[in-house]
Amino acid sequence: MSNAGAEDNDDVLSDVEADDPVPIDIINSPSPEDVSIEKFREILAELDRERQARLAAEDSKSQLQVSFNRLRVLAHDAIKKRDEHSRQRDEALREKEEASTTVGKVTEELKEVTKQIDEFSKELEEVKKAKDSMRTEMETSGSMLVSGIDKISGKVSQFKNFVAGGLPRSQKYTGLPAVAYGVIKRTNDIVEELLRQIESTAKSRNEAREQMDHRNYEIAIEVSQLESTISGLRDEVAKKASVVESLEKSIGEKDEKLSELEQEMCEKQKTLESEVGELRDLVKEYEGKLSSSESKLEMQRSLLAEQLKYVTKIHEQIYNAVKVVDARKASELSESLFLAQEMDMEENIRAVLAGLESIHEMSEFVVQKTRDLLEEKSHEVKSLNESVSQLCSFKENFSGFVIKTNELFKIAENGLREAGINYKFNNHVGDGKITASDKKMHAANTEEDEVYALAGALENIIKQSQVEIIDLKHTVEELRNMWKLKRRNSVNGSKRVEELEEKERVANENVEGLMLDITAAEEEITRWKVAAQQEAAAGKAVEQECAAQLAAVRQELEAAKEAVLESGKKLKFKEETADAAMAARDAAEKSLRLADLRASRLRDKVEELTRQLEELDGRETSTTGLNRPRYMCWPWQWLGLDSVGMRRVETQQEGANEMELSEPLL
């Protein structure tokens, strides 16, 4: 095509430079004014359509601004609710501190607390029910989140199938946090897919723009072939130039508006991402608070189990002491059956209270029994001391009598030894047997035998009494040791009883503290439940709003795509028309330059012809006279002002001049 345009230009120049041009008939050629008016009307219609498209883009911009303001208001409301929850938590902590100051007064009302344990058990059952209801609500909220994200993914299924693999799973979270993690992950995937779609649309738009440029270049080449058909005066060219400038300005404004719309869409996407991050942070914060409350309950449960273990150990110790003191009473009492349960705090508290009551009863019994035993042992010790003192006095009297009898026996033995009789009274007394020599003397000494028998019996009695005294001494020592042990045991038992009473008091205080902590935990759970319900409702509303906004954004994106396509088409057509107008302007300027050149050449030729005509006039006046009509200039003949009797000169030269003047119109 460019070669053809070059050949046409060469033809035009050849027409100018030719000496003998051929006349061309231009009667049937289309008028350039009709062509320019039709194009001008089409351009006006396109301007009207562009104005309508600009109004629609402004309306969409205002709607996007309204939705952005709504999101901002929702974010402010969520921040206010979070501040209100923190203030309520501070008030609960302040109330807890005030309750701790009143613990000293509550210790006097222990009996009333035992009556209120049943009420607390009922409240614990209600808490369990509330916990179950909260669990069901969490499950329902999780199912609602799953159904909502499935609906959203179904709406975005035309871009990508998100429902096929199910929600993304996390190894770190379970339950509702896992569902929230899957929903957040799915929303991130959807947003990334939308961003990819936007980038693909931008790429397709750039490709369309490149194709449009290529097509414009081709159209410019095609328009260059039609340069020979454009004509007009300089006024029309100036008007077209002004129209082209206005079109260029409108195109620049459209490009600026499109760039502004793209920036606004990017900002809106950023704000949506920031809001999603804030919602994720809120969900994490509530999960941390729930885990902290559960950890507190677990710590209290473990402390209560440890307390119950120590109570069982104390009960076993006192039960062993009761066994030592009174076996019959120990058989009547039951052993420790206080077993710690891992989940039921109410049963653990009841077991602790029952164990403390039984410990108190057994400690009172042990104290009473030790007192009785101490009194009995003291009476026995007194009686034994009296018997020991009597035996000691008897021993002293008897020892004097034994000494005297021993002296008599020694005197008797010495006398018998002097008489030639070897006899020992000790063997006689210890064995009680009569030897053969004694039998010989038995008849003579019957009185002495009776005396000796009496002395042996007395000696045996003394030995037995000495043995009994030694045994009594041993028993006294044993009784003293037992009394000391009993006294120590009684002291230890009293200390143990005091320690048990102190432990009982501490246990009661711990129970009261645990009950207060349980009540505070129940209140905290109720508050967190209400807060979770409110947050769930707010999250549902935000989710619905986000879904609506995503749908609106998708519609706006589709509308923006259509508007971009339409604007691309319009821009393409405008660029084509602008290129055509520029080409027409260039062709007109070129034709004007050619016309100026030809006009200058024609002016020179006219001057030459006028000079020749003047010469001819001079010649004719000299020959024919001055009264002959003079219509000698050829343009007047071309305009139809030929005179009768005028001679036509050089018709071929006039045809060539007419061709040169009419050539710019072609």
3-state secondary structure 384-450: HHHHHHHHHHHHHHHHHHHHHHHHHHHHHHHHHHHCCCCCCHHHHHHHCCCCHHHHHHHCCCHHHHH
Residues 540 and 502 in one domain: no
Residues 521, 535: Cα–Cα separation, whole Å: 20
- Each residue's pLDDT tens digit, 457-503: 666 766 766 676 677 677 767 767 777 776 777 677 677 767 777 77
Residues 375 and 443 in one domain: yes
Residue 654, pLDDT > 50, answer no
- Whether 203 is in a domain gets the answer yes
Q: For the residues 336-355, what does the mean pLDDT come to?
A: 62
pLDDT at 422: 63
pLDDT at 124: 78
In this prediction, what percent of the chain has a pLDDT beyond 90?
0
Q: Tell me which residue range forms the domain holding 64.
A: 33-95+129-303+524-586
**341 or 398: which carries more pLDDT confidence?**
398
In this prediction, what percent of the chain has a pLDDT beyond 70?
58
Residues 443 and 558 in one domain: no
- Whether 640 is in a domain gets the answer no
Determine the 3-state secondary structure of 169 from DSSP.
coil
pLDDT at 30: 46
Q: pLDDT grade, residue 48 (50/70/90)?
A: confident
0.75 exceeded by pTM? no
Residues 11, 533: Cα–Cα separation, whole Å: 87
Contact 314, 493 (CB under 8 A): no
pLDDT at 571: 63
Residues 145, 526: Cα–Cα separation, whole Å: 23
Residues 653, 605: Cα–Cα separation, whole Å: 10
Residues 140 and 230 in one domain: yes
Q: pLDDT grade, residue 182 (50/70/90)?
A: confident
pLDDT at 2: 46
- Each residue's pLDDT tens digit, 562-601: 766 776 676 677 667 767 767 777 776 787 778 778 777 8
Q: pLDDT grade, residue 23 (50/70/90)?
A: very low
Q: Which residues are CB-neighbours of 572 under 8 A, at least 6 positions away? A: 212, 215, 216
Residues 84 and 193 in one domain: yes
Contact 261, 560 (CB under 8 A): yes
pLDDT at 131: 79
Contact 286, 535 (CB under 8 A): yes
Contact 260, 266 (CB under 8 A): no
Residues 528 and 505 in one domain: no
Residues 225 and 370 in one domain: no
- Whether 433 is in a domain gets the answer yes
- Domain boundary among the residues 586, 611, 634 is at 586
- Domain boundary among the residues 450, 479, 511 is at 511
Contact 120, 515 (CB under 8 A): yes
Residues 564 and 502 in one domain: no
pLDDT at 446: 58
Q: What is the mean pLDDT of the chain?
A: 69
Q: pLDDT grade, residue 104 (50/70/90)?
A: low
Residues 503 and 538 in one domain: no
Place of tokens 């704000």: 271
- Would you state the structure tokens that stand for residue 169, as one six-digit string? 């799973």
Structural domains counted in the chain: 2
With vertex at residue 137, the alpha carbon angle to CA 133 and CA 140, rounded to the nearest 5 degrees, is: 140
- Whether 516 is in a domain gets the answer no
Residue 521, pLDDT > 80, answer no
Of 111, 117, 177, 90, the C-alpha closest to 141 is 177
pLDDT at 562: 78
- Each residue's pLDDT tens digit, 303-338: 777 777 777 777 777 777 777 776 666 566 655 545
Residues 148 and 226 in one domain: yes
